[in-house]
Amino acid sequence: MNAATILVVDDNRLVRELVRDAFAEAGYTVVAAAGGAEALDRLEDVRADLIITDVAMPEMDGWAFCEAVKRDPRFADIPLVFLASHREIPERLRGFRLGAYDYLCKPFSVEELLVRVRLILDRTRAAAADGAGGSGGGTRALAGHTSQFPIADLLQLLAINGKTGTLQVAGREAGRVHVREGRIVGAVAGAARGRKALHRMIGWGDADFRFEPHDDTSVADDLGPSAERLVMDALVALDDLARLLAQLPPGSTPVGVAEGVRELLASPAALSPLELAVIREARERSSLDTMLERIDAADVEIARALAGLLARGAIAPLPSGAVGGA
């Protein structure tokens, strides 16, 4: 592994030296370039095993450099990692659409970059060895942990490469995502199905995964939009859910109906079906955790409905121990 050659592209001399020194100390051969055009010249002389490139550079930025690399059949298969100041989801997705293997935001940890590069080289070299022959040229199963490769990033990688198969995920519970030609066609996590299940798995930060190439024709394509749109929606929903959970009682705390519910129920047409479902659960002194499992709606929508009813005085937390049916 340490014989690998890394091309580092950044117009900031300090960043180039920081990355160069860290990788050289770890035993890698490092070639540096101050911009995209210079990096393309370097590739004519040195075969890089992996490229680390900044995004914001003068003349030829990281996006244009990546496109130039991917257009050239001599270099198109070189794994590429972006370093960028932008943390927005669309920027990250743009990198994956261009074929990047990873995307780190500045400021970054050199130690984390080293680990991610090693994992990428492990995967690409294993895949190359598998395709070269040992087992008839079959596609090698992809496995790992979400601390090293988040589910959102993995789904983007599968989509970009048009993969078909099942992503098995073992986190808070067992789950799986079905992918067909890069499209997400189904998801299951415990008792949850569809987008509800997909959102949960994308939010798991401590889970093992394994992608097994095959086509489960029994799974209907019922999730609709592209993988990119589904992943983006999930990340936005997870951000909203985290904000709501910070405002709500702990998930295990039971809630019950309060005085304000009478006024609301006097005009039930003013309540959404989801709000009525939350009120029914509150009559049974359910907790948020229980509602998330029982109610057939996205977790973030259930949390939003509960927060609204709490604010309107229709529901209130119950004392510890007040559980079970009312």
pLDDT in tens, 150-178: 898 888 878 877 889 999 999 889 999 99
252 is written with which tokens? Answer: 């295990």
Three-class SS of residue 10? coil
Three-class SS of residue 192? strand
The CA angle 279-282-285, to the nearest 5 degrees, is: 165
DSSP class of 131 = I
Largest CA distance in the chain: 78
User: Taking 80 as the threshold, does the pLDDT of residue 247 lie above it?
Assistant: yes
Least confident range from 84-98, 130-144, 269-283: namely: 130-144
Average pLDDT, the chain: 85
Q: What stretches of 106-163 adopt beta strand conformation (E)?
A: 142-145
| CB distance 298 to 196 below 8 Å | yes
Instruction: Give every strand in the sheet of 50-54, ordered side by side.
Output: 29-33, 5-9, 50-54, 80-84, 102-105
Query: What average pLDDT does this structure show over 17-36?
Result: 93
283 falls in which pLDDT band (50, 70, 90)? very high
Q: 73: how many CB neighbours lie within 10 A of its CB?
A: 7
Summarize pLDDT for 84-98 with one digit per residue, the tens: 776 555 566 666 666
Beta strand 102-105 with 80-84: parallel, antiparallel or unpaired? parallel
Q: What residue spans of 169-272 are helical by DSSP H? A: 194-202, 227-247, 260-265
Three-class SS of residue 73? coil
In angstroms, the CA 249 to CA 245 distance is: 8
252 falls in which pLDDT band (50, 70, 90)? very high
Counted residue by residue, the chain has a size of 326
Burial class (CB in 10 A: 0-12, 13-18, 19+), 23: buried
| CB distance 163 to 127 below 8 Å | no
Tokens 């939009």 belong to residue: 225
Q: Indicate the helix (H) or strand (E) that contains 61.
A: none
- How high is the pLDDT of residue 87? 57
User: Taking 70 as the threshold, does the pLDDT of residue 62 lie above it?
Assistant: yes
130 is written with which tokens? Answer: 């598998």
100 is written with which tokens? Answer: 């990047």
